[in-house]
Structure 1
Amino acid sequence: MRYAISSNAYTRFSLNEAIERIHNCGYSALEILADHPHISPLDITPQEVKQVTRLLEQKGMSVSNMNANTAVSVYPTIHHIGETVFEPSLCNRIEEVRLQRIRYTERCIDLAAEWGASCISVTSGKCLAGNPPDQAYLLLVESLTQMLPYAEKRNIRIGIEYEPGLLIENANEVQRVIAEFNHPLLGINLDLGHTEVLGEPLAGTIQRFGEKIVNIHLEDIRGRKHYHLVPGEGDINFEEVLEALKSIHYDNFVTFEIYSYPDDPDGAAKRALAYMSNYTISC
Structure 2
Amino acid sequence: MSLRYAYNTNGLTSHRLDDALAFLADCGYAGVALTLDVVHLDPFADDAFAQAERVRARCDALGLDVVVETGARFLLDPRVKHEPTLVNPGAEGRHRRLAYLRLACDLAEVLRAEAVSFWAGVPQPGVDRDDAWRWLADGVRALVDSHGGRAYDLAVEPEPGMLVEDADDWARLAAEVPGLTLALDTGHCVVSGRYAPEQAVATFADRLGTVAVEGMRRGVHDHLPLDEGDVDLPAVLAALQAADYQRLVTLELSRDGHRAHQLVPRSIELLRKAES
| TM-score for both structures, normalised by structure 1 | 0.89
- Of the three residues 82, 85, 88, the one matched with 1:89 is 85
- Of the three residues 181, 187, 196, the one matched with 1:193 is 187
Is the Cα–Cα contact under 8 Å of residues 110 and 154 in structure 1 kept in the other structure? no
Is the Cα–Cα contact under 8 Å of residues 7 and 251 in structure 2 kept in the other structure? yes
Give runs of ≥4 in structure 1 deviating > 3 Å.
Answer: none
- Counterpart of 1:131 in structure 2 is 127
- Counterpart of 1:79 in structure 2 is none
Which deviations, in whole Å up to 9, do the C-alpha atoms of 1:162-184 show, x marking residues without a partner?
1111111122211111111232x
Is the Cα–Cα contact under 8 Å of residues 109 and 154 in structure 1 kept in the other structure? no
What residue ranges of structure 2 are gaps of 5+ in the alignment? none
Alpha-carbon separation, structure 2, partners of 1:163 and 1:74: 19
Query: Deviation at 1:151?
Result: 2.1
- Counterpart of 2:200 in structure 1 is 205
- Counterpart of 2:34 in structure 1 is 32
Is the Cα–Cα contact under 8 Å of residues 112 and 152 in structure 2 kept in the other structure? no
Which deviations, in whole Å up to 9, do the C-alpha atoms of 1:75-110 show, x marking residues without a partner?
14xxxxxx7222121121211111111111111111
* Mapping of residues 132-171 of structure 1, within 5 Å: 132-152=128-148, 154-171=150-167
**Secondary structure, counterpart of 1:198 in structure 2:** coil
Which deviations, in whole Å up to 9, do the C-alpha atoms of 1:30-64 show, x marking residues without a partner?
1100123212223351332232223222322211x
- Counterpart of 1:56 in structure 2 is 59
Alpha-carbon separation, structure 2, partners of 1:153 and 1:216: 20
User: Is the aligned partner of 1:103 residue 2:102?
Assistant: no
* Mapping of residues 9-28 of structure 1, within 5 Å: 9-28=11-30
AA aligned to 1:249 is D
Equivalenced residues, count: 272
User: Is the aligned partner of 1:7 residue 2:26?
Assistant: no
Alpha-carbon separation, structure 2, partners of 1:88 and 1:16: 30
**Secondary structure, counterpart of 1:5 in structure 2:** strand
Query: Deviation at 1:153?
Result: 5.5
Kindly tell me: are residues 223 and 98 of structure 1, through their superposed partners in 2, closer, same or farther at Cα, counting changes over 3 Å? closer
What residue ranges of structure 1 are gaps of 5+ in the alignment? 77-82
Is the Cα–Cα contact under 8 Å of residues 71 and 88 in structure 1 kept in the other structure? no
